[in-house]
Structure 1
Amino acid sequence: MGFAELLDEVGGFGRYQWIHVTLISLPGLLMASQNLLNNFVSGVPTHYCSIPANHSLSNLSHLHQVDEKQLLKMFIPPDSSGNRLARCRRYANPQWQLLAANSSTNVSHLETEDCIDGWTFEQSDFLATTVSEWSLVCSLRPLKQMIQTIYMGGVLTGAIVYGSLSDRFGRRSVLIWSYLQLAVLGCSSALSPTYSTYCIFRFLSGMAVSGVIINGVSLKVEWITTKTRTVVGTLSSFFFTFGQMVLAGLAYWLRDWRKLQMVVCAPNFLFFAYSWWYSESARWLVLNQRSEDALKSLHRVARINGKSEMIDKITVEVLHSHMNKEIESARSTFTVFDLLRTPGMRRISICLMAVWFSTSFAYYGLAMDLQKFGVSIYLMQIIFGAVDIPAKLFALGILSYLGRRVSQAVCLFFSAAIIFANIFVPTDMQTLRTTLACLGKAFTSASFTTVYLYTGELYPTVIRQTGMGFVSTMARIGSMAAPAVLILDEVLPALPSLVYGGSAVLAGCFACFLPETLNVPLPDTIEDVEASATHEHTQIKQFSARKQKQQQTTMFTSTKRPVFNLISERISHICDKHLNEHFILEYSDNDL
């Protein structure tokens, strides 16, 4: 018996679990806003070079009958498409001849210069952004993307730091601190006087976001029963989905970046206030020699779930008898190196690194470039958020029906296929390209839902947080690299899609080598993981031996019927391949 049986005895998924999961999931509404905030806070307004002060409209209107449109035509050349004003160049001198009705001047030969007087930003979409406030355009354009890269660097750092700290100090303590850090530093970033200061605050906010997400997931998983993990994990992710649409509404209402930043970060003070209600993971408490505290937590859960009769029955001795093996294993100190030290853990870690990187790489490559679709950025944010709803329902269905491994591979392969398909759609078919992009994001979102749940189930309790932090660092690297890849379209328009799709295909192949965890109790020790891997390897060898024996028997009995032998051998190969792929799932179901 293990800890899962104790959870069933104190009410399974009862009132406490409902409240616990809801309160931890609620901040997900604003974690989505944090990750995608740069779309609006650093939105790029329509802009062009400012007119020289001595040639302003007020000065010229006294001498000539010119309006603003004519003034812009005199000073701002068209861009390469000829449909919009150039953003980074202006004529060195006013071109009066361009105002003539039948002007045939070749503007490409006219002398131009940089925007030495700055830029004029229109306010049709945004009242103020970091781009317009600090002029992050033209030669400074990379600094706009740098904000998101620095933020994701903070998320990466937080995954490493807070993943390890939570294994040492507990999930609850680190989660509470992360709420406070995000509230204080997030609101401080809204008051940043300079670009550098803003980047520093965003980096530290990113660290806090990582602490909230990683510890929130683990604290949920470690207080719910095995049979409810799939449903809870998937439904909890809907908070992130709705958060994307909440962001669109807030950004449409608050078009000043400082106000938007403040509104998105301030609610974390509320999350910090009620997070003291959480109970620390009883698993973690037991494995860190705090059995009395674990017992108090279990008694509290039993009381809230209406199972008060179990309080006297569950003692420290009962707790230890359920988790004796885990307690013995936890006396050792674990580090990141333990994730790669043994064969089973090494296989899991390497495969998960590939899956996390590719999923995040493709997801943020699509989600962080909304202005390229040619429609309202607020509408695109709502659409991109809405497609996650059917995507997560799809993930919920296949996770329980096909299992974790097949579901993960399917999501990655389908996202790659859609990304590749978009390469062959002409650029003028914008509606179709947008539709395919939404489908691609839907499958990457389903992949995210799957890998969050899958990772928590694959790693043992004694090193789960360290493992979550380690493999999710690849997701942060992917999200940091995604905006940079978009620049490759200047070399070849299809190149970003080729990179995103190729990465998803590779990760899908890695996912096929992960062990199945459907209806399997959470492993508590590294020995549990290695024993499972050894058992899986033994069963595969038995299938291979049986297959070889069947082939030899078929060859012996079919010397006079070669055509029939060929057909039978082919059918046997297909059946054995199917059985081999699904054996572990079937074994796990029958073993329970």
Structure 2
Amino acid sequence: MASEVLLDRVGSLGRFQILQLAFFCIISILLFPHVLLENFTAAIPGHHCWVHILNNDTVSENETGTLSQDALLRVSIPLDSNLRPEKCRRFVHPQWQLLYPNESFSNMSEPDTEPCVDGWVYDQSCFSSTIVTEWDLVCESESQKSVVQSLLMAGSLLGSLLYGYLSDRFGRKIICSWCLLQVAVCDTCAAFAPTLLVYSTLRFLAGSSILTVLGNFTLQAIEWTNPQSRSMAVMLLSCAWSAGQMFLGGLAFAIRDWRTLQLTLSVPMFVFFMSSRWMVESVQWLIINNQLDEGLKELRRVAHINGKKNIEETLTIEFLRSTMQEELDKAQIKASVSCLFRAPKLRVRVLYLFFVKLATAVPSNGLILNLQHFGRNIYLFQVLFGAVALIGRFVALWTLDHMGRRPSQVLFLFLVGLSILVNTFLNQELQTLRVALASLGAGAASAASTISAVHQPELTPTVFRSTVTGLCILASGIGAALAPLLMTLMRYSPLLPWITYGVFPILAGLFVLPLPETKNLPLPDTIDDVENDFQQKKNKKRKS
């Protein structure tokens, strides 16, 4: 806990913190869209079977007379149950009699149809190309599109566990730089992928790094900022994610080719990787891992950036050792990952945080499906969802400063659940009210996620902070994967999935209630800091 004293000595909210946060936000705006790329690069455009008389440029006008494209489509492609052209079947032979619906034809049987044996024709009015049109991921192969998205999520789950542990083992900076390089290489190569298998593999590897970088940015911002400003730092980073969502919608509208879009977002990652060498390592991690010389070097570097003069005279290795002696003594005993579950209070916190993250991710991803009812314009939807999330994060900052971590999180989680449940039982004709409630739920979900990003690191010790962050990212990934699976409950009742989405955040709010309030409290460094009476530390801080 004495690391707060060192932070005050070098400046806990100065030029360094502002530059660091600006650097993290710029990267996040271009990095977060990599999570959502398949919304556009894997979009399924309108399509129908390739038909000789309809799509062959060598067919002369004499063969089809003066028939329009709509008429040729009508005699070539059957209609589905919604009276729209079938996407996956065509007539074996042209059905010319369909041009004369008022005529009666004797001895007419049901016309024979067949699958799209010659391929498909895609509507290019919205997307000039996607991986769907590139490798024909439609009809019988449509499930392969879901496999690509699932592999990206699987990569993020694996990466959150692996890189979370490695961040606590080798430091935040080196793992963050490696992950930036991995994203740059994998997603740039994905733009030139010759096959779907190569593309899926590269996106899996990129996915294992993206959330690790975003999580490490949050930890770095929290560990270099005073308790009073942590919520603002996390809120600004979260706003950068929302800005990234809106930026992706605008960029995808301008760039309709999936390879060009992929490349445009990936090449800047090389620049960010090169820039990451100037990042400052977490001084808490350095000291807890007994790297005092490096810790002193980084502290003096931050002090100079913040304009602290004559810092070498007051900030010495002896001062550093005396200030952090208690933490250094505790850190001599190397804690293994199993200690997370052997320490009673820490174990309960980790289990509660895991469930809260999972239960928050389920309705958040469920609401994405509901928000698509705003309209068919996928670009507008992306920008709108980002804007709603942005507003929710600003509201979260206000409640964090005035209400604290725990009450704010409970409030927004309950608000998410109630908005979904009320929306579920509303009349379908009340479209404006349903859209308003869906927007309220989406904004509240973003606010709850932002508050959780502040509360969770303040509940876990420095020695395990990245590991617990990795576990929380894993929980979010499981919730994201569970959300679409819950839609299968519609076979029993069309309301059941949405009732489940509404119950999850309310349960999460109940799990937040037993967690301690951490507003304006210093970050715990060791397991003993968590296991000791938290209320006593709070009272000591008040008295001092």
TM-score by length of 2: 0.93
Q: Does 1:86 align with 2:86?
A: yes
Deviation at 1:429, TM superposition (A): 5.1
Aligned to 1:213: 214
- Cα deviations by residue, 1:270-328 (Å, 9 ceiling, x for unpaired): 11121111111111111111101111111111111111223211112211222222212
User: How many Å separate the matches in 1 of 2:258 and 2:475?
Assistant: 29
User: How many Å separate the matches in 1 of 2:125 and 2:294?
Assistant: 57
User: How many Å separate the matches in 1 of 2:169 and 2:183?
Assistant: 21
Q: Does 1:394 align with 2:415?
A: no
Aligned to 1:232: 233
Query: Which stretch shows the higher mean deviation, 356-365 or 338-347?
Result: 356-365
- Aligned pairs for 1:93-112 (under 5 A) are 93-102=93-102, 110-112=111-113
Q: Give the direction of change, closer, same or farther, for the CA distance of 1:371–1:400 in structure 2 (3 Å limit).
A: closer
Letter in 1 for 2:286: L
Q: Give the direction of change, closer, same or farther, for the CA distance of 1:335–1:31 in structure 2 (3 Å limit).
A: farther
- Aligned pairs for 1:191-590 (under 5 A) are 191-367=192-368, 373-427=374-428, 430-486=431-487, 488-489=489-490, 492-532=493-533, 535=535, 590=542
- Cα deviations by residue, 1:170-222 (Å, 9 ceiling, x for unpaired): 11111111111111111011111111111110111011102211221111111
Aligned to 1:21: 21
Query: Which stretch shows the higher mean deviation, 460-469 or 314-323?
Result: 314-323
Q: For residue 335 of structure 1, give the secondary structure of its aligned residue in structure 2.
A: coil
Aligned to 2:134: 133
User: How many Å separate the matches in 2 of 1:349 and 1:216?
Assistant: 21
User: How many Å separate the matches in 2 of 1:58 and 1:370?
Assistant: 44
User: How many Å separate the matches in 1 of 2:446 and 2:259?
Assistant: 29
- Cα deviations by residue, 1:21-48 (Å, 9 ceiling, x for unpaired): 2112221102320111111011110112
User: How many Å separate the matches in 2 of 1:388 and 1:55?
Assistant: 44
Deviation at 1:75, TM superposition (A): 2.3
Q: Give the direction of change, closer, same or farther, for the CA distance of 1:55–1:228 in structure 2 (3 Å limit).
A: closer
Q: For residue 85 of structure 1, give the secondary structure of its aligned residue in structure 2.
A: coil
Q: Give the direction of change, closer, same or farther, for the CA distance of 1:85–1:226 in structure 2 (3 Å limit).
A: same
User: How many Å separate the matches in 1 of 2:514 and 2:238?
Assistant: 25
Q: For residue 142 of structure 2, give the secondary structure of its aligned residue in structure 1.
A: helix
User: How many Å separate the matches in 2 of 1:332 and 1:447?
Assistant: 36
Aligned to 1:50: 50
Letter in 2 for 1:72: L
| Contact persistence 2:190–2:203 (CA under 8 A) | yes
Q: Number of paired residues?
A: 541
- Cα deviations by residue, 1:79-114 (Å, 9 ceiling, x for unpaired): 2222x3222233333222211152689x99544332
Letter in 1 for 2:245: Q
Aligned to 1:554: none
User: How many Å separate the matches in 2 of 1:190 and 1:384?
Assistant: 26
Q: Give the direction of change, closer, same or farther, for the CA distance of 1:370–1:417 in structure 2 (3 Å limit).
A: closer
User: How many Å separate the matches in 1 of 2:103 and 2:357?
Assistant: 57
Letter in 1 for 2:208: M
Q: What percentage of aligned pairs have identical amino acids?
A: 39
Q: Give the direction of change, closer, same or farther, for the CA distance of 1:370–1:111 in structure 2 (3 Å limit).
A: farther
TM-score by length of 1: 0.86
Query: Any gaps of 5 or more consecutive residues in structure 1?
Result: 537-583
Letter in 1 for 2:16: Y
Deviation at 1:495, TM superposition (A): 3.4
User: How many Å separate the matches in 2 of 1:475 and 1:174?
Assistant: 21
Query: Any gaps of 5 or more consecutive residues in structure 2?
Result: none
User: How many Å separate the matches in 1 of 2:37 and 2:68?
Assistant: 37
User: How many Å separate the matches in 2 of 1:55 and 1:375?
Assistant: 26
Aligned to 1:32: 32
User: How many Å separate the matches in 1 of 2:273 and 2:207?
Assistant: 17
| Contact persistence 2:358–2:475 (CA under 8 A) | yes
